Amino acid sequence: MSGPANDNTIIPGDAESRRSYADAKLARATDPQSSLWVSANAGSGKTYLLSRRVIRLLLEGSRPSELLCLTFTKAAAAEMSNRVFEILGKWSVMDREALSAEAAALLGRPPDRHELARARKLFALSLDTPGGLRIQTIHAFCESLLHQFALEANVPGHFQLMDELEQAACIAEARQRVELAGLGQGPAAGYLPGRGELADAFSTIRTFAGDDAIEEAIRVLLSQSHVFQRWIEGGGGTIETAMAPLWEEANLSRSTDRQVLLESFLSETSYSKDQLQELQSLATAKGLARYDELADRLETVLSSDDAEAVFDVRRKVFLKDKDTPRPSLVHASFLKTEPAQAELLAQEGLLVKEQYHRLRTLDVLRASEALFVIAEAILSEYGHLKHSRGRLDFDDLIARTFNLLSRDGIGAWVRYKLDYGISHVLVDEAQDTSPLQWKIVEAVTEDFFAGEGSHAETRTLFVVGDEKQSIYSFQGADVSEFEAQKQSFKRKVKSAGQSVKPEDSLSLSYRSVPEVLSAVDQVFSLPENARGLGATATSGHVANRFSHSGDVTLWEMEVKPKRNEPENWLDDPSEQTTDAELRLAGRIADAIDRWISEGERLPGRDRPIRCGDILILVRKRDRFVRAMIRKLKEKGLPTAGADRLKLTDHILVEDLLALGQFAINGLDDLSLAG
């Protein structure tokens, strides 16, 4: 199978031509004189390409200490490092003819005798280099940089990195201290806002939400602390100044009194008192339950002095739900006999909707500001605890490194020192790099495209990524930033004269068979689906495994019923599944049973299908998994079962824990009630 690639070239169909095409791609992508941005589809050999570029840079004279390869996860760093050292290790003991052939495939030309001699030494050279090859996560790079420039970065020279458990415990302690400080108690009361701002914030937030909701809101906000703190800094340095544009846009102010606002709503009405009384009389005269309820509510509006209660009744009368005017407050026949009421009812519905939005906006702004005050205090106390214990967390590594590299005077000196050590930077999984991490990469490579600097040779930046695979937005990754960085990169490379075409793509898939890739391309051939690929991405995939068999079959969806009542109320709720889930599990089990019992052949192996050939992938480990396992066992099909079990969610473990709690404390008979 051949087809268009993302770079608008035609990938040949025969194996030999494909191999030549891939070799040409490899030669260009590993050229040590060129900076390059590569868009790589899943399974297109991204890790292979990165490892080969590292090896070629070393082979053509770069010292191991001059290379910096940044990956997103420790697993990816370990895999790339293993691949590099595996090849270099083989080269160190390989016979001359085989080594010459491998080096020629990498260089795109026959190696000279000096390059062959260097190829044999690269393994030992990489091992003997202090610190070794720097193939590491960006967090590991930042950690090493902060240790190297601890004084300049204003961090303890002996700082240690917190793991997730220690970080969670420290945040919990900080929150507890902040809550005590709100009462004017505890060790933090002396330097955090005491009974004033903090106490008001806790009082305000608790009028809008319960403890669980507050806990969750604080947790979410703290998980995005870098965004929260940048928002405060960008808004003038305080919560009050950062919130000012929001208050202004809502046409409200921090001094707006909720009660005064509610009382103003009493006079802002389409109905005069006489008109309301007339509507009440008309409703009472109808003598129907629907109109009696309307009359009772209008009585509250007419007689109550409680502005909150009056507005709540008006909202229930004139709005169908929270913000939609009620279309049928009265019957159409009523409006025909009382046409004057039709216009008043419509006007009042729109007015109450507007007032409700205004009131909710005030509440949301008040609650948000209170939440921000509490979160800022928790972050402040969390920072105090970290500093006192000589600890940094992962966000600190990125933020402190960025501040170090961008700090006036100091940043230029640090970059100058780095300029002597780093000549080639490789960035893996670029789509998951956050804006602040990009700024660190920019700072490290700032002089790469500005001239010779302290180096006469060309220095390069090599980036590999695929915006379709971006999955870490919750950690700050931003696909729009990915595209902006790519365009900036292309401008820099062209202006430095390093390459006339600083962008390439990998479309040849070594992982999937043509049938699978064609199915994926078919899905994204629809314009509404293609929008999910990003502004510049295309959906073209070309399979290298064209001689392998494959099949894609789409089944009709099993639709869930709107409501599913358990057939047996004694069943464990965690075991209850919908009819649709059971039907789907049954269909899958039936299909597998048919394959096995009828001896259906596995084309790729030319033998009957076995149970061990089958893998069932699910979106998440929910009740469907248990239903699927149960159906397979009913058919007598051997299954490995669930690959992971959350022990504390299992009813037997819950019972044992309850029994243990009762054994520890005999008075705790409530544990046995569950």
Task: Check: CB of residue 150 under 8 Å from CB of residue 159.
Answer: yes
Tell me how long the chain is. Answer: 674
Question: What is the predicted pLDDT for the residue at 30?
Answer: 85
Q: How far apart are CA 215 and CA 179, in angstroms?
A: 12
Structure tokens at 472: 């870490």
DSSP class per residue in 477-503: --HHHHHHHHHHHHHHHHHHTS-S--E
Contacts with 477 (C-beta within 8 Å, 6 or more apart), sequence order? 431, 432, 433, 434, 470, 471
Question: What is the predicted pLDDT for the residue at 124?
Answer: 93
Question: What is the predicted pLDDT for the residue at 568?
Answer: 47
Neighbours of 345 (CB within 10 A): 22
CA-nearest of 516, 513, 545 to 15 is 545
CA-nearest of 135, 38, 58, 133 to 103 is 58
Mean pLDDT, contiguous 10-residue spans, the chain (674 residues): 44 65 77 86 84 93 92 89 94 93 89 92 91 89 92 90 91 89 74 71 88 87 84 90 92 86 75 60 56 59 67 71 56 56 69 84 92 92 92 92 88 78 88 86 84 64 82 63 84 76 77 84 80 61 76 84 52 55 90 92 86 88 85 88 67 84 78 68
Question: What is the predicted pLDDT for the residue at 389?
Answer: 92
Q: Where are the alpha helices (DSSP H) in 154-306?
A: 164-182, 197-206, 211-223, 225-234, 239-249, 258-267, 273-286, 289-303
Question: What is the predicted pLDDT for the residue at 456?
Answer: 57
| pTM for this predicted structure | 0.72
Task: Check: CB of residue 44 under 8 Å from CB of residue 507.
Answer: yes
Question: What is the predicted pLDDT for the residue at 263?
Answer: 80
Question: What is the predicted pLDDT for the residue at 277?
Answer: 63
Show the domains of the chain with their CATH numbers. 17-147+408-509 (3.40.50.300), 160-389 (no CATH), 573-643 (no CATH), 645-674 (no CATH)
Question: What is the predicted pLDDT for the residue at 625?
Answer: 87
DSSP class per residue in 269-338: -SS-HHHHHHHHHHHHHH--HHHHHHHHHHHHHHH---HHHHHHHHHHHHBSSSSSB-TTSS-HHHHHH-
Query: Distance of CA 652 to CAs 54, 649, 659, Å?
Result: 53, 9, 11
Contacts with 640 (C-beta within 8 Å, 6 or more apart), sequence order? none
Q: How far apart are CA 383 and CA 396, in angstroms?
A: 10
Half-sphere exposure of 427 (CA within 13 A, CB side): 30
Neighbours of 607 (CB within 10 A): 11
Q: How far apart are CA 187 and CA 402, in angstroms?
A: 32
Task: Check: CB of residue 325 under 8 Å from CB of residue 319.
Answer: yes
Question: What is the predicted pLDDT for the residue at 337?
Answer: 58
Q: How far apart are CA 207 and CA 558, in angstroms?
A: 44
Question: What is the predicted pLDDT for the residue at 574?
Answer: 44
